[in-house]
Amino acid sequence: MAFVVVLVIGAAAAAAQFWLLGQLGVFVNAVPALAGASIALPAVAALAALLARPSAPAPAAPTPEAVPVEPPVPVEPPEHTALRLLAFLQEEGRLVDFLPEDVSPYSDEQIGAATRGIHASCAKALREVVALERVMSGTEEETVTLEPGFDAGAIRLVGNVSGQPPFHGTLRHAGWRATHVAVPARASADPFVVAPAEVEIA
């Protein structure tokens, strides 16, 4: 496209020169060299002007869009979850109040009567936050067989253990496995405060 523009400009300049020289009484057709110069020089001048023109700057590269970075989710230390569960059992059943208590001065009847309410409250609270199921479906004290490949992390062998499976033994405890955990959050700013002190203002 630029070359065509140069040719057009050169032709226009040459035609203007022919007309001007004709007005002055100079006939370039009579002198071939003068005619060639009259045509070539304007074209060369127009081409030189085009080449001398500064080139247009290259378009700037598009700025990449900033990808939003999600802030890292804070990870709660495992001991905080255990403390939240302990605090929930204390709040619902006063378990922490009961366990450190020295019960040796009390009779079995007194202890039984005192723990009935604690047992009911803590059992209800535990069911609300943890769903449990038995590891083994058998009845305690029955004979069981453990085949090769049994889950050693879920079944602990006790007694006279030797050799390789299959093992034959007596089920002493069926075990527990948590299938769901939903310990409620706490309003306390200090996770190590299991139960805040209470002061009654008169």
User: In the prediction, which pLDDT does 74 show?
Assistant: 75
Single pTM value for the model: 0.58
Q: What is the pLDDT along the chain (202 residues), one digit of tens a residue?
A: 544 554 455 555 555 555 554 554 544 444 454 444 455 555 555 555 555 555 566 677 777 787 888 888 777 888 899 999 999 999 999 999 999 999 999 999 999 998 999 999 999 999 999 999 999 998 999 999 999 999 999 999 999 999 999 999 999 999 999 999 999 888 777 889 999 999 999 9
Q: How far is residue 123 CA from its own chain's centroid?
A: 37
DSSP H helices in 99-197: 108-129
Largest CA distance in the chain: 144
The pLDDT assigned to 77 comes to 85
d(Cα 2, Cα 49) in Å, to the nearest integer?
11
Closest CA to 85 of 100, 74, 97, 96: 96
> In angstroms, rounded to a whole number, what is the distance separating the alpha carbons of residues 84 and 77?
11
Task: Parse the chain into domains and list their residue ranges.
Answer: 2-52
Sequence-distant (≥ 6) Cβ neighbours of residue 180 within 8 angstroms: 130, 131
**Ranges of H-type helices in the chain:** 2-23, 32-52, 78-93, 95-98, 108-129
What DSSP string runs through 28-86?
GGGSHHHHHHHHHHHHHHHHHHHHHSPPPPPPPPPPPPPPP-PPPPPPPPHHHHHHHHH
